[in-house]
Amino acid sequence: MIELKQLSFAYEKGRPVLQNVSFRIEDGEAVGLIGANGAGKSTVMKLLLGLLSPSEGEILVDGERVGKDNLAKIRRKLGFVLQNSDNQMFMPTVYEDMIFAPLNYGLSREEAERRVDTVLTRLGLQDLKYRHNHRISGGEKRMAAIATILAMEPEAVLMDEPTAALDPYNRRIVINTIRDLRQLRLITSHDLDMICDTCERVILLSAGRIAADGPAESILRDRELLERNRMELPFRYAGTER
């Protein structure tokens, strides 16, 4: 369970980026965090991971306040793919990156290897296994980063713009994968069709404030609300209204 309580944040004094943001996400829920460029989506993700500290308010993960003393424990629960996943690879190859955490969690090499292979197969990425992280494309890196967090089997999955660099084929694989997960999922995107496919609830951020929080379908069909917040109806609803 993740809870944000009256969270405010500013990178620079006097220029608030998030103001009084509160929401609670239960285990198993899939929530889309949407909003125009600069609305504050990535900042919410970074605060959740303790990469930034709130100016006001607090963040709770499983009831524990995120702070310096419990960051390692919290990050072990949260599998995350940041918007810039280039910075997330530490080891030379995709395989070594993927197996690092499972080995660290105490699995035998055999068990860890099985887990890695299962995820690679599920994502159709077997060919990427022994490739070098600095010799694969942006989209492949994104897929590898997603594979790495799935191999950790985290309690919750946070993805910042997961489909941004992907071709339609990989985009579809990622959508299906997110749908199949049972964990709490928080997904940011301005790809509202992807959010339609993966999330039952949507939180709309607008200039650092929550403009709407409710069932995905009612928010994503609301042309007026979306346009007022610099977004457009998903393709699938654009033709059906009147």
Ligand X SMILES: Nc1ncnc2c1ncn2[C@@H]1O[C@H](COP(=O)(O)OP(=O)(O)O)[C@@H](O)[C@H]1O
Give the interface segment with Mg ion, choosing from 41-49, 86-94, 118-126, 179-187 (CB under 5 A): 41-49
**Which position among 42, 85, 206, 229 is part of the footprint of ligand X (CB under 6 A)?**
42
Q: Helix, strand or coil for residue 227?
A: helix
- Calculate the dihedral angle through the C-alpha atoms of 20, 21, 24, 29, rounding to the nearest 10 degrees: 170
* Using rule CB under 6 A, residue 17 touches ligand X: yes
**Which position among 9, 21, 33, 42 is part of the footprint of Mg ion (CB under 5 A)?**
42
Give the interface segment with ligand X, choosing from 22-30, 38-46, 88-96, 135-143 (CB under 6 A): 38-46
How many whole angstroms separate alpha carbon 170 and alpha carbon 43? 26
* Using rule CB under 6 A, residue 163 touches ligand X: no
For residue 7, CA distances in Å to 57, 93, 227 come to 4, 38, 25
- Tokens, residue 61: 């993960």
Size of the site for ligand X (CB under 6 A): 11
How many whole angstroms separate alpha carbon 165 and alpha carbon 116? 23
- Contacted by 61, from Mg ion, ligand X, none: CB < 5 to 8 Å by type: none
- Calculate the dihedral angle through the C-alpha atoms of 126, 156, 161, 38, rounding to the nearest 10 degrees: -160
Please, where are the H alpha helices in 23-85?
A: 41-48, 71-77
**Which position among 6, 11, 126, 236 is part of the footprint of ligand X (CB under 6 A)?**
11
Give the interface segment with Mg ion, choosing from 10-18, 34-42, 171-179, 208-216 (CB under 5 A): 34-42
Map residues 43-72 to x or -, x wherever contact with ligand X holds by CB under 6 A: x-----------------------------
Residues lying near ligand X in the complex (CB under 6 A) are found at 11-12, 17, 35, 37-43
